[in-house]
């Protein structure tokens, strides 16, 4: 007990020294979309005693790394409730680290959701599907909050697009997210292409998808990939595009 109190006092003392420095860079954090949580009782309840002391003392990065390792151990033990709580802590401490948000969503929407469907302790399939949907929602929430803290980074838009596509079957939302990612600095070329692909699977969006795919096709041979050609051919038939306006058949 004495040792714990001594550690707490030392952390707080170190934090007091850092306050002027941290105050001077707070404006830079805000301009970089670093949405820090206010240091109140709500934060104390959310991230636990160790995390709260880290937030006060300036050891955010170190404590976040330790918690991340703990979350990995909890995942290996399939302790999904603990995985959730630990990733809530780590993303609160380090909201600008893309990896933490992405891993949190992956564990919830992919790993925990699969485990829920195999959970023999649940009485029936309906309960298992309900649990699965809840894990999908938790993964989606992590990515949405990650995007709020990192609106200038394409990776989380892409991750949320994959979740919408693979887990929620929402191709329209996936197309919108890929399109948002494509507009950001440093976004890979495939984001724009994937936005058009996803739009081609969205009911009622056939014309918009055809126009987007055709625009890519007209950029040249480097865009004429097998998936693009296949989706264009399908949409030509659905939209009854005149034969003389259709793209030629390409060698496989």
- The pair of structure tokens assigned to 211 is 């126009």
Look at residue 107 and tell me whether its pLDDT is greater than 80.
yes
pLDDT at 48: 53
Neighbouring C-beta atoms of residue 61, cutoff 10 Å:
12
What is residue 249's predicted lDDT score, i.e. its pLDDT? 86
* pLDDT exceeds cutoff 90 at 7: no
Residue 78 lies in a domain: no
Q: Is the pLDDT of residue 20 over 70?
A: no
Residue 70 forms part of a structural domain:
no
| pLDDT tens column, 191-204 | 999 999 999 999 99
Q: Please report, rounded to a whole number, the percentage of residues in the chain having pLDDT higher than 70.
A: 76
Give the number of other Cβ atoms within 10 Å of residue 176's Cβ: 19
Q: Is residue 58 part of a domain?
A: no
Is residue 84 a part of any domain in this protein?
Answer: no
What is the tally of structural domains in the chain?
A: 1
pLDDT, residue 15, reads: 54
pLDDT at 121: 94
pLDDT in tens, 140-168: 999 999 999 999 999 999 999 999 999 99
The predicted structure's pLDDT at residue 2? 66
Q: pLDDT above 90 covers what percent of the chain?
A: 72
List, for residues 23-66, the tens digit of each pLDDT value.
443 444 444 444 444 444 444 444 455 555 555 456 778 888 98
pTM of the model: 0.79
Cα 247 to the center of its chain, rounded Å: 36
Task: Read off the pLDDT of each residue in 206-225 and give the average, rounded to a whole number.
Answer: 96
Determine how many CB atoms are found less than 10 A away from the CB of residue 5: 9
Domain membership of residue 185 (yes or no) is yes
Distance CA 174, CA 134 (A): 19
The region of weakest confidence among 1-15, 162-176, 211-225 is: 1-15
Domain that holds residue 249: 152-252
Q: What is the DSSP string of 52-106?
A: HHHHHHT-HHHHHHHHHHHHHHHHHTT-HHHHHHHHHHHHHH-TT-HHHHHHHHH
128's tokens: 């298992």
Closest CA to 231 of 206, 204, 203, 251: 206
Q: Give 96 or 25, the one with higher predicted confidence.
A: 96
User: At 158, which CATH number?
Assistant: 1.25.40
For residue 100, is it within any domain?
Answer: no
Dump pLDDT digits (tens) for 115-139. 999 999 999 999 999 999 999 999 9
Residue 132 falls within a domain, yes or no?
Answer: no
Average pLDDT of every residue of the chain = 85
Does any domain span residue 69? no
């Amino acid at each position: 007990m004495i040792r714990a109190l001594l550690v707490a006092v030392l952390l707080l003392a170190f934090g007091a020294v850092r306050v002027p420095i941290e105050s001077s860079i707070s404006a830079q954090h805000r301009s970089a979309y670093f949405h820090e949580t206010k240091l109140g009782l709500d934060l104390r309840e959310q991230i636990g005693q160790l995390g709260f002391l880290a937030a006060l003392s300036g050891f955010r990065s170190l404590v976040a790394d330790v918690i991340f390792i703990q979350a990995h151990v909890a995942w290996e033990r399939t302790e999904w409730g603990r995985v959730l709580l630990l990733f809530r802590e780590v993303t609160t401490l380090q909201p600008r680290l893309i990896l933490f948000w992405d891993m949190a969503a992956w564990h919830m929407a992919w790993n925990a959701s699969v485990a829920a469907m195999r959970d023999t302790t649940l009485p029936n399939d309906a309960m298992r599907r309900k649990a699965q949907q809840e894990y999908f929602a938790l993964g989606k929430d992590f990515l949405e909050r990650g995007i709020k803290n990192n609106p200038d980074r394409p990776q989380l838009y892409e991750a949320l697009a994959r979740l919408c596509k693979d887990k929620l079957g929402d191709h329209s939302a996936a197309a919108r997210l890929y399109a948002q990612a494509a507009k950001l600095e440093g976004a890979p070329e495939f984001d724009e292409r994937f936005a058009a692909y996803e739009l081609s699977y969205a009911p009622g969006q056939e014309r918009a998808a055809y126009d987007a795919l055709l625009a890519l096709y007209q950029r040249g041979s480097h865009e004429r990939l097998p998936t693009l050609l296949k989706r264009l051919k399908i949409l030509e038939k659905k939209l009854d595009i005149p034969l003389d306006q259709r793209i030629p058949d390409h060698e496989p």
